[in-house]
Structure formats: C-alpha cells, structure tokens
Amino acid sequence: MATATADQVRKECQSNVLPLRHGTTSAAQQPDESDDSSDAESSLATSAAPIPRVKIPGHRIEAPGSVQAIVIDDDVLFAGVQGGSIVAWSLETYQRLATVPAHKESVLGLALSDDRSLLFSTGADSVVNVWSTQTLQRLYSLYSHFEIGDVFCIVHSTKKQILLWGAQNSSLQWQRLSTDASIKSPTATLSPGARKHRFFDSLGPGGSVNVISDEDGTTGLLNNLGGRALTIPSRNYLPYAHKSYVYSMLLIKGLFTHDREEEVLVSGAGDGTIKLWSLDSLGTEGLVLIHKFKNSGSNVLSLAYRGSFLFAGLSDGVANVYNLASNQLVQRLQIGHGDISQILVSTDSILCGTSQGLVKVRVYFKFCKCLNLLLSRDTTTISHRPNPSKQQMERSWQWV
C-alpha cells in the first residue's frame, strides 16, 4: 500500500511539470547528445525522454560595446556597457531610445526600484548613480570616503528607502535616499576620480607630474548630467563583509513568520560564502549577520530567490539550491559550460547564463507530498550560434 501511494504521488507531481513552449511550431528540435548530465545525486530522480536541443527564434539587438548588465522595465530595456554608457531600447519597436554616458568606466550593475521609477547604476569608477527612468536624468551621484574599487552589485529597499551595494574591496555600503536640503554636496576633490593616490598620482622622474588628459571629453559630459552629489558617511560602511569581491546581492522577504514583509539582505562573494544580513539596526549597529553558507574553492557570482529557496550560481559551473527555512543545502545542480554569471528562476524553470555563451534551462518541481525535496531534470540548452567568438557573445544577445 505504501509503494502504491508513493507512485501515485510521484505521478501527480510529474503532471505539474510544464513542457517548454516555443514561439513557433517550426523550431528545429534535435536530440541533445552532448548533454549527459543526470540526477544521480537526487534519491528520487525521475526518468525522462531524450532531451532535445531547441533553437528558439528571438530578436537581436547590437549593443555599442560589451554588455555588462541589463534590467527590464515594463516597456524599456536598459543595458550597461563597457564604455560606461547606459543604453535604453523600446521593447515594442526595438529602437534605441537613448544613450547616456553614465560612468567614467564600465557599468557593472543595474537595478530598478519596485515602482520602476528609479534606475540605479554602479561602475568600475567606484560611483553609484540614481536615474529617473522617465527622463534618464541623473538624480544622485553617491561617493564613498574610502577607496572601494569596482562596485559590482546594488539593491534597493523600497520599505526603508535605502540603497545597498557591494564592492571590490569586500565591503558593503548603504545610503538612505533623502530629499533633505540640509545635506551638503561634497566638493569635487572628494569624488573618486579626483582624489590623489599615493602611488598612481606620485611624481614621475625628475619630479614631473603625470597629467592624464580627458581625450574623449567624458569627464565634462558626466559633470553636466546634474543631480546631487553625496558622500556616504563612514558609519554606513562595513569593511571586510567578505574576504573577497562582493559579486552579487539581493533582498528577500518572507523568511520570518512574525513579519512576512521584513527584508533580509543576501550577499555572495569571491570567497565562496553567501551571507544573510538583517537590516533592522542599520541606523545603530549597521548590518547584522544572521547566517552564512560556505562553498570552498568557488566564487558566488549570481543569486536568485523563489519561495523559501535560494539559488546560487558558482564559478565552477554548479548551481546550489538552499532551503532558507532550514538553512540547508538541498541540491547541487551540475550546469557546466563555465561560470554561472547569471541565474533566474521562473514559475517552473531555472535559467543559468554561463561564461561560454550558453543558457542552460532546468525544469524543477517540489515533491512536497513526499519528502519536500527539489527534483530536477535537464530540458534544453539554448545557444546563440555555433561556436560563437568571445567578441560576438559580448557585443550581441537575444531574448525570447
């Protein structure tokens, strides 16, 4: 009787797995003979038919440089590119709407506020900018007192009206967006690009000064973008939050039964750790560590969250799945194809973007009536083109 019940539950769960839907019925489907990954790690693995390789037609946009970050508004796509610009395209006409010189160096991170009214950008120039999504006018330009290096990731808490970001020097910083006119803007000497570095700005042979000219006029354009320049107070700075670069961050809700709206910050770094932080005492104690996961020998490059499960993309082609209700690692998904630089979770799928230009898709479901385990099986691999070059992968991309 127990066996029959388990088989019945298994069939019921399998019926909830939705197949991939293609934009056209003429899409070519070939058996994927190169993907021989299996679910041997899962004690309740399911058998599946041969997995097809699917070509999905999509629209292609040529970006003016290597695309480092993208975010999607309701009808606009924003991309941060290597030269320091933010480019906006219409999702209705696929026409370029605007190009803004946002940073002196590459744009590394983009994020949107919950109401889609604000766009946040970070870059290799150690600066965090806040933009209006309606006009692409700069509203704020945030600087740090410290030399923090590249700023890789940023999140925004609508509830607390606070920005939080992670940087190359393993630090975390935060700032409340305020309209208080009493806050004084810093002088130009406090901006990272104008500071004197003891080594790089030291005198050359014979005591000569090394003057770097602004050949393309980028500095002048950036200074004319407007907005308030704010220097982050030193109390809003957590040094050594990790032991390496902070690559990824996200805000999650629903972890605590006493307050489902309470937000928790999750950060992932090059030291292989994922840390959960409380925001309740930002004004007094700063960020308070709640829990951490360790991944020895791997960099945590991307994070995603759904339900009570945290998904982490690592540098060794593995995606880890954590149950935050029990603070346990529940599964390691062997994705392969290089580093997992991006990871997204939809209703029934996990999409992993890898450093080799592939998007790996896994369909998963909860076997909640049995052991509440995550089961998964490979479904498809999407490739932009056969053997794409590195430049082609960086300069153009497509979506479905």
> To the nearest 5 percent, what fractions of the chain are helix, strand and coil?
10, 40, 50
Give 10-61 pLDDT, tens digit per residue: 444 343 333 322 333 333 334 343 444 334 333 333 334 444 555 555 778 8
CATH number of domain containing 177:
2.130.10.10
Q: Please give the share of the chain, as a percent, with pLDDT higher than 70.
A: 63
Residue 108: inside a domain: yes
Q: Which domain holds residue 230?
A: 66-190+219-294
Whether the CB-CB separation of 277 and 250 falls below 8 Å is answered with: no
Q: Decide if 155 is inside a domain.
A: yes
Does the residue 72 lie in any domain?
yes
Res 375: pLDDT: 40
In a domain, 52, yes or no: no
Cα–Cα distance for residue pair 151/164, rounded to 1 Å:
11
Domain total for the chain? 1
Residue 107 has what pLDDT? 95
Asked, for residue 32, whether it belongs to a domain, the answer is no
- Between residues 165 and 189, the one the model is more confident about: 165
Structural domain includes residue 84: yes
> What is the DSSP annotation of 35-73?
-----TT-TT----PPPEEE----EEEE-SS-EEEEEE-
User: Above 90 in pLDDT, residue 89?
Assistant: yes
Instruction: Find the largest Cα–Cα distance for the chain.
Output: 91
- Domain assignment of residue 367, yes or no: no
Q: Is residue 361 predicted with pLDDT exceeding 50? A: yes
Q: What Rg, from alpha-carbon coordinates, does the chain have?
A: 23
Residue range 182-223, pLDDT digits in tens? 444 444 445 555 555 555 456 666 665 554 444 444 544 555
**Average pLDDT over the chain, rounded to an integer:** 74
21 within a domain of the structure (yes/no): no
